[in-house]
Amino acid sequence: MTENDKDTQSDATMDAEAAKEMEGVPEELRDTGDCAADVADEEADKIAALEAELAEAKQQALYAHAETQNVRRRMEKEAQDARNYAATGFARDILSVSDNLARALEAIPEELREDEKWKGLVNGLLATGRELETVFTKHNITRIPAMHLPLDPNQHQAMVEIPTDEHEPGIVVQEMQTGYMIKDRLLRAAYVGVAKKPE
């Protein structure tokens, strides 16, 4: 067999193998020489589109997770606030009872306090006042300090200015109504008189 015959036989073998590989490929793709390149490009485009969709889905999942965490934290804070400040409305109402009791005690003259007939009543009123203070403390309701302190607009409400040389201007020199906090929130501002320079 000559060298030319060997080359011809080799070419025929390669053509047969190529034809065998093309058996599953549709006819329209067999005719183009760039068939494999086109298929590869299409596959690359599909992969890129799927990767973009996956990245977007991951981003949306992260946003959803973050939003869930925020909602959970908000709900926990609201539940904690509800526990801490549930008594706020009732506490405001009971403060007027405390104020009236304090006024009643202040109105009792000193001679009646020592009188045996009135001693039981006075002691009962004093005990009621102490019990109210105990209840306030139990529910984290505390008095706002005011006298001889600088006016704090977050806790004090200035009702009058009192001319005086004894205190610096802006110092509280009179307390007309006691203020209260419930935990770290203002329950009721203290009504006060504030010093000012005499004219």
Contact 160, 193 (CB under 8 A): yes
For residue 155 the two structure tokens come to 């806790």
pLDDT digits (tens, 9 = 90+) for 19-66: 555 555 555 555 555 566 777 788 888 888 889 999 999 999 999 999
The number of beta carbons lying within 10 Å of the beta carbon of residue 122 is 16
Q: Please, which pLDDT band fits residue 18 given cuts at 50, 70 and 90?
A: low
Whether residue 81 is contained in a domain is answered as no
Whether residue 88 is contained in a domain is answered as no
Alpha carbon 45 to chain centroid, angstroms? 45
Residue partners of 186: CB distance under 8 A and separation at least 6: 154, 155, 179
Q: Is the pLDDT of residue 97 over 80?
A: yes
pLDDT digits (tens, 9 = 90+) for 122-151: 889 889 999 999 999 988 899 999 999 999
Whether residue 183 is contained in a domain is answered as yes
Rg (CA), the chain: 45
pTM, full prediction? 0.59
Q: Is the pLDDT of residue 114 over 90?
A: no
- The CATH number of the domain where 158 resides is what? 2.30.22.10
Whether residue 173 is contained in a domain is answered as yes
Domains held by the chain: number: 1
Separation of alpha carbons 135 and 94, rounded Å: 11
Whether residue 176 is contained in a domain is answered as yes
Whether residue 190 is contained in a domain is answered as yes
Whether residue 2 is contained in a domain is answered as no
Whether residue 125 is contained in a domain is answered as no
pLDDT at 186: 92
Alpha carbon separation from 136 to 17, 83, 126, 181, 187 (Å, rounded): 97, 16, 15, 10, 12
Dihedral angle computed from the Cα positions of residues 74, 76, 80 and 86, in that order, rounded to the nearest 10 degrees? 70
Torsions phi, psi of 198, nearest 5? -65, 150
pLDDT at 41: 81
What domain range is 175 assigned to?
142-199
